[in-house]
Structure 1
Amino acid sequence: MSLYQSVRAVANARGGETEWIDWRATAEAAKQARDQGALTLDDAERRAYATDVRDARSRLRTVGGLEFDIPQTIEVQNRHHWIDANIKTFERMLDPIDIATLIDDTNALNGPSGYATRMVNTGSMAAALAFLSGNVLGQYDPQLLSQTTDTIETNENNHELYFVHPNIVDVAAELDVEYPRFRRWIAFHEVAHAAEFGAAPWLRTHIEDRIESGLEALTGGRLDRSAFSDVDIVMTAVEGYAELLMDRAFDKEYADLRAKLDARRGGGGPVAQLFRRLLGLGVKERQYERGAQFFETIADQRGVKAAATVWEDPRYLPDESELDNPQYWIDRVNP
């Protein structure tokens, strides 16, 4: 890890007239700023990851009443692997934004001001990825905006599942919990996301449509608040349901894991707290809490399988008022 090399990579950021981030420099700078972490797995531990995922699939199908399958691509990564995977994701999602149109100057990225803009953007993205790569435990990637028309049901290759092994090991030690049990619980959470997207073939397209609407508005110099509000509602449902399902389906004791992980999400020192605010992680924590409370209320009243009704049709997604008053949703949908 070398902060000097990280800064140097950002300072050398380059790009064309519409490229507002140098993704190669972003990857290099992020990796220089974050140690990759140890990834020395023996055959037994690799089998343990695979077993956790398979068991999670079986338990989630039974408890949630959902039909789905797990991704063909399941990777146990170090932090640099995670950065590489997410560079591709961010590049794919941000590519539609024409920065020259946004700043109303097609030549703006060619001169000194353009160089400074690109350097700042590259540095900001590198810092974000470096920070996140040290905190992410697992990730289900539905490959949004990947330009494929196949659904998860018909194409098993268009979604992926990652586990950032060094972070799982470090956080288990930090929380003073048994590593195998913690690893397994994280697997249940990520497979729960696969369950959501597998049970709702429309979900991916629904999210993509709203993201594309928001990006098109930005490219035109407008802010489509409704599009981003819709995405926030959907992601609140996605995160909240995964929280419910991972706990209700987990086959071991989890109360201590839940309490310690929830505390960690809102913790950290001043620098970590600053990064969380800048990256909007407070919003994500609110999605976890708000969504989990919504689904817990439904599950307590009607059962866990009734909560899965939300994935049957886009009409069954909650609105803002229903997220805060689950009884409104129950009265409307009546699962």
Structure 2
Amino acid sequence: MPNYVDWTFAKTTGARLVPPGPDVGHDEAAEIVGEIRRLSRMAVDPVAATSHLTAPGDAPAALVVDRPTWIGVNADSMAALLDPALEAAAQRREKPPWGPAQAVGNKLTGAEAGGMLAFLSAKVLGQYDIAPQGTPALLLVAPNMVHTERELKVVPRDFRYWVCLHEETHRVQFTAVPWLREHVIASARGLATDLMPDQETVRERFEQMATNLPKVIGGEGQGLAELVITPEQREQMAKVTAVMSLLEGHADVVMDDVGPQHVPTVETIRSRFTQRRKGAGAVDRLLRRLLGLEAKMRQYRDGATFVRTVQHSVGVEGFNAVWTSPQTLPTPLEITDPSAWVRRVHG
């Protein structure tokens, strides 16, 4: 298959552009990595007890990584998700692009992907990488934890454990619910394929970009995707967003429910971290809007409200009916109307 995005160049570009991490000596870095690994193991039992979900014994342990490693892993996952969509779009063309032009284009798109990954690599504290064509893994980004705990002026051990609780919940979601990973991969690939414009709609999409750009800069919608999305695609994206809201909100609820017993300063951490999620300077806020990170913040809020409301109504076991099948996941309307989900699933 032709290489429509030079993912190797994306990794190289990302590694060159990645911001330097916090100033940490070699011995201190080794100590930090060891503590994060230990805290990630400690998070397993409290998360299982609180969520009533248990990861299988063969589920891989967390990996503590630096920013360039995170970029490399995510470039591979993006390639596995997007390359099939790019191939499908190419097959709809009347004729293939001129060879030299395609080579230059591949480098340009690779550079753009690398720049985006470099920016995000300094923001992400942890992530469960679903690895569409590889081995899933829980990633904990050590320099970002250190940078954030210093920025927030919170107790390092408490903050690191708090983050581990959130990310362990994601590991449990994707390993204790066998069908979830393939469902998310299929949904993301389907959406990516639908978002690829063909030759007949390119002009229409450019006109749409001019109309929607003020909305994106204003923080509405799903970031850059909002520039070219159709009403039908918006509906499909809403379904994917509802699932992501569920996953992120559930992880936030579990981490905060476990927190009071295991993280003495959890209230201070939550208060300061919530404020941090709003973004720092004007440039940072603009980039967050363009990349859809503002929409992700709404996912945390909507998802957490959904989880708490449902659990208050039908308990944790009643809420866990959400993991029964793709049909029991909340719809876009239900994620903001939890009682509608309870009526549909529990009668």
TM-score (structure 1 length as normaliser): 0.82
Q: Is the 8 A contact 1:137 1:163 kept in 2?
A: yes
Q: Which residue of 2 aligns with 1:130?
A: 118
Q: Which residue of 1 aligns with 2:204?
A: none
Q: Which residue of 2 aligns with 1:55?
A: 42
For 2:30 and 2:188, how far apart are their aligned partners in 1?
Answer: 40
For 1:44 and 1:123, how far apart are their aligned partners in 2?
Answer: 35
User: Which residues of 2 match residues 223-234 of structure 1 at below 5 A?
Assistant: 225=233, 226-234=235-243
Q: Report the alpha carbon displacement of residue 248 of structure 1 after superposing the two structures with TM.
A: 0.9
For 1:55 and 1:309, how far apart are their aligned partners in 2?
Answer: 27
**Residues 184-241 of structure 1 deviation map (CA, whole Å, 9 limit, x = unaligned):** 0010010000111122111112222222333444568497624433221211111111
Q: Which residue of 1 aligns with 2:268?
A: 256
Deviates more, 1:171-180 or 1:46-55: 46-55
For 2:130 and 2:343, how far apart are their aligned partners in 1?
Answer: 31
Q: Report the alpha carbon displacement of residue 290 of structure 1 after superposing the two structures with TM.
A: 0.7
Deviates more, 1:248-257 or 1:166-175: 248-257
Q: Which residue of 2 aligns with 1:322?
A: 334
For 1:332 and 1:193, how far apart are their aligned partners in 2?
Answer: 25
Compare the two structures and name the one with the higher helix fraction. 2
Q: Report the alpha carbon displacement of residue 119 of structure 1 after superposing the two structures with TM.
A: 4.0
Q: Which residue of 2 aligns with 1:212?
A: 189
**AA of the residue aligned to 1:139:** Q
Q: Which residue of 1 aligns with 2:290?
A: 278
Are positions 1:299 and 2:311 aligned together? yes
User: Which residues of 2 match residues 1-335 of structure 1 at below 5 A?
Assistant: 18-35=2-19, 37=21, 40=26, 44-69=31-56, 71-98=59-86, 101=90, 104=93, 106-108=95-97, 110-112=99-101, 114-115=102-103, 117-143=105-131, 145-146=132-133, 158-218=135-195, 221=198, 225=233, 226-250=235-259, 251-253=262-264, 254-334=266-346
For 2:268 and 2:197, how far apart are their aligned partners in 1?
Answer: 48
Q: Is the 8 A contact 2:62 2:139 kept in 1?
A: yes
Q: Which residue of 2 aligns with 1:5?
A: none
Q: Is the 8 A contact 1:60 1:192 kept in 2?
A: yes
Q: Report the alpha carbon displacement of residue 164 of structure 1 after superposing the two structures with TM.
A: 1.0
For 1:215 and 1:266, how far apart are their aligned partners in 2?
Answer: 27
Q: Is the 8 A contact 1:26 1:126 kept in 2?
A: yes
The gaps in structure 1 that reach 5 residues or longer are: 1-16, 148-157
Q: Is the 8 A contact 2:85 2:189 kept in 1?
A: no
Q: Report the alpha carbon displacement of residue 30 of structure 1 after superposing the two structures with TM.
A: 1.2
Indicate the RMSD between aligned Cα atoms, in angstroms.
Answer: 2.6
Q: Is the 8 A contact 2:253 2:307 kept in 1?
A: yes
Q: Is the 8 A contact 2:55 2:175 kept in 1?
A: yes
TM-score (structure 2 length as normaliser): 0.80
**AA of the residue aligned to 1:19:** N
Q: Report the alpha carbon displacement of residue 316 of structure 1 after superposing the two structures with TM.
A: 1.8
Q: Report the alpha carbon displacement of residue 18 of structure 1 after superposing the two structures with TM.
A: 3.4
Percentage of identical aligned residues: 29
**AA of the residue aligned to 1:332:** R
CA separation of 1:211 and 1:311: change in aligned 2, threshold 3 A = same
For 2:100 and 2:94, how far apart are their aligned partners in 1?
Answer: 11
SS in 2 for 1:299: helix
SS in 1 for 2:99: coil
SS in 1 for 2:280: coil
For 1:93 and 1:320, how far apart are their aligned partners in 2?
Answer: 23
Q: Is the 8 A contact 2:4 2:83 kept in 1?
A: no
Q: Is the 8 A contact 1:20 1:109 kept in 2?
A: no
**AA of the residue aligned to 2:151:** E
For 2:333 and 2:196, how far apart are their aligned partners in 1?
Answer: 30
For 1:109 and 1:278, how far apart are their aligned partners in 2?
Answer: 31
Q: Is the 8 A contact 1:76 1:164 kept in 2?
A: yes
**AA of the residue aligned to 2:39:** D
The gaps in structure 2 that reach 5 residues or longer are: 202-229
For 1:36 and 1:105, how far apart are their aligned partners in 2?
Answer: 45
SS in 1 for 2:62: strand
Q: Report the alpha carbon displacement of residue 36 of structure 1 after superposing the two structures with TM.
A: 5.0
